[in-house]
Amino acid sequence: MRSMRSMLSRPQDLVTARLVERERLPELIKIAERYALALTPDIVELIDPADAHDPIARQFIPSKPELERRAEESLDPIGDDVHSPVTGIVHRYPDRLLLMPVHVCAVYCRFCFRREVVGRQRALSARELRRALDYIRAREEIWEVILSGGDPLVLSTRRMAEIMQALAAIDHVKVTRVHTRVPVVAPARVNRALVCALKAAGQAVYIVLHANHAKELTPKARAACARLVDAGIPMLSQTVLLRGVNDDAQSLGELMRGLVECRIKPYYLHHPDLAPGTAHWRTDIAHGQALMRALRGRLSGLCQPTYVLDIPGGHGKSPIGPSYIAANEAAEYEVEDFRGQHHIYPPRLASSSPAKRGRGAARQRGGGGEGV
C-alpha cells in the first residue's frame, strides 16, 4: 500500500485536495473527532467534486447528518459484544466465527456499522491473538473462520501469513474467509507476496470483497482481483444497500454484472445496520425487496446476491428478499415467475373442472411490472 502520508486522514486534507469547501471545515472537524477518517489516493482519484451526487464521495466524505443519532440506533447495532467470549472473537453461529485481528481500515466508510470502534481501537496484541487462536483450537465445531475487523489486508504481509498458517494448522478449521475493501481502495497492496501469504496449505481460502458501486471496479481494482482469482482464491462480494449510491436497479445491476465479469460471485446485499448517524443512507426494506425483484427479472442468476438483515441484538443475519411462492386456499402452491405472473404448482390436470382451470391460470400481479 502507498505510504500513509499520501492518504487523506484529516479534515484539512479534504479541503486542501478541493474535495470539500473550506466553509465545511468546522463541521468536518466535529465529525472526525468522533469517527475515523481516511481516503486512499485510489479513492480520491475516483471522486468528482463537481458532482453533488457522486457515489464515491457519498461513501467516504463526512457529512453533517452523521452527527444526528436516532432513538433506534445503537453503538453495537448487530450485537457483537454479547457474542464476544474473548477479545477479537465474535462467535454468533455454531460452525463459524469472526476473528478480528485489527480495527484499522485503509478507508473509513461513513456508514460503517462498527464506526464506534474502527480506527479507534488498537490491533490485537500477540497475547490476545494467542488467546483468540486458543479459543478456536478448543472448539472442534468451528469449521470456518472469518477474518474481519477493521480490514485484515492492512496487516503486514508477514503477519497475515502467520495468521493464515496458524488457522491452517487447526485440523477442524477447513475454511478461512477474508472480508476486505483493499482490492478496490488500494489495489497495489494485492501483490504477489500478499497473494502467497493468503494461500495456506490444506485450507480453503475465500476473499469477500466489499464494493458498493460499479465505479469502484477500476482497471486497477479488476487487476488486483484477477491476481487473487488467477492464484486459485475464489472471490465473493458483499454490498450495502445505500440511498444515493446504489438504491436503483440500474446502479445495482451494473455493480453485480461488473463483479461477475471480475469472476466475483455476488454474495450478500446488506440492509444498512442501525449504527449512529447513518439514517440518511438507509432505504426501507420494501424498497430493497423491489430492487431484488428488478434484478431477478433483468439479470443472470450469477448476478443475484442474497438480501439480508442483521437482526439487532445479536440474533444473526436473515434473508429478507421477496418471496415468490405461497400456498392458496386449495392447499396448492402459487409460484410467481420473473414477469410477475402466477402459476399453480403442481400443474392441475387437464381433466380439472373449468372453474379450477380458470382459477389456476397464470395471472398478472398488480404492480408486478417493476420487477421485470
> Among this protein's residues, is 265 annotated catalytic?
no
> Among this protein's residues, is 199 annotated catalytic?
no
> Among this protein's residues, is 93 annotated catalytic?
yes
User: Which ranges constitute the DSSP H helices of the chain?
Assistant: 11-16, 25-34, 41-46, 55-60, 126-137, 157-168, 182-185, 192-198, 219-230, 249-261, 285-298, 354-360
> Among this protein's residues, is 114 annotated catalytic?
yes
How do strand 235-240 and strand 264-270 relate by DSSP bridges? parallel
Catalytic-labelled residue, pool 24, 92, 110, 282 = 92
In this structure, what is the dihedral angle of CA atoms 306, 243, 184, 289, given to the nearest 10 degrees? 10
> Among this protein's residues, is 230 annotated catalytic?
no
How do strand 341-345 and strand 333-336 relate by DSSP bridges? antiparallel
Secondary element (H or E) of residue 203: none
> Among this protein's residues, is 108 annotated catalytic?
no
CA–CA dist 249, 251 (Å, integer): 6
* Cα separations in angstroms, 218 against 45, 234, 236: 11, 19, 17
Q: Cα 222–225–230 angle (5° rounding)?
A: 115
Catalytic-labelled residue, pool 42, 54, 151, 273 = 273
CA–CA dist 1, 247 (Å, integer): 31
Under 8 Å between Cβ of 214 and 255: yes
CA–CA dist 278, 257 (Å, integer): 27
Under 8 Å between Cβ of 96 and 47: no
> Among this protein's residues, is 303 annotated catalytic?
no
Catalytic-labelled residue, pool 112, 225, 262, 303 = 112
- The SS3 of residue 251 is helix
Catalytic-labelled residue, pool 10, 93, 131, 220 = 93
User: Which ranges constitute the DSSP H helices of 47-156?
Assistant: 55-60, 126-137
Catalytic-labelled residue, pool 69, 137, 159, 317 = 317
**What is the 8-class DSSP label of residue 250?**
H
> Among this protein's residues, is 298 annotated catalytic?
no
> Among this protein's residues, is 112 annotated catalytic?
yes
Euclidean distance between the first and the last CA atom of the chain, given in angstroms as a whole number: 43
> Among this protein's residues, is 48 annotated catalytic?
no
Contacts for 332-335: CB closer than 8 Å, 24+ residues apart: 332/360
Catalytic-labelled residue, pool 42, 58, 105, 135 = 105
Q: Which residues are catalytic?
A: 92-93, 96, 105, 109, 112, 114, 273, 310, 317
